[in-house]
Amino acid sequence: MCRRLAVPAAVLLEKLEHWLPEKITR
């Protein structure tokens, strides 16, 4: 796998971890 894809994927996962709890609690 390309490391160029691995970095943005990690960033998206971090954003999802912060974004999903807000959606679930509301």
Q: What is the pLDDT of residues 1-26, one digit of tens each?
A: 577 877 888 899 999 998 888 877 77
3-class DSSP state of 1: coil
In this predicted structure, what is the pLDDT of residue 4?
80
What are the structure tokens assigned to 22, written together?
């807000």
- Domain boundaries along the sequence of the chain: 1-26
Does the model's pTM come out above 0.75?
no
Rounded CA gap, 17 and 19, in Å?
Answer: 6
Rounded to whole angstroms, the Cα distance separating 6 from 25 reads: 29
Residue 17 is given by DSSP the state H
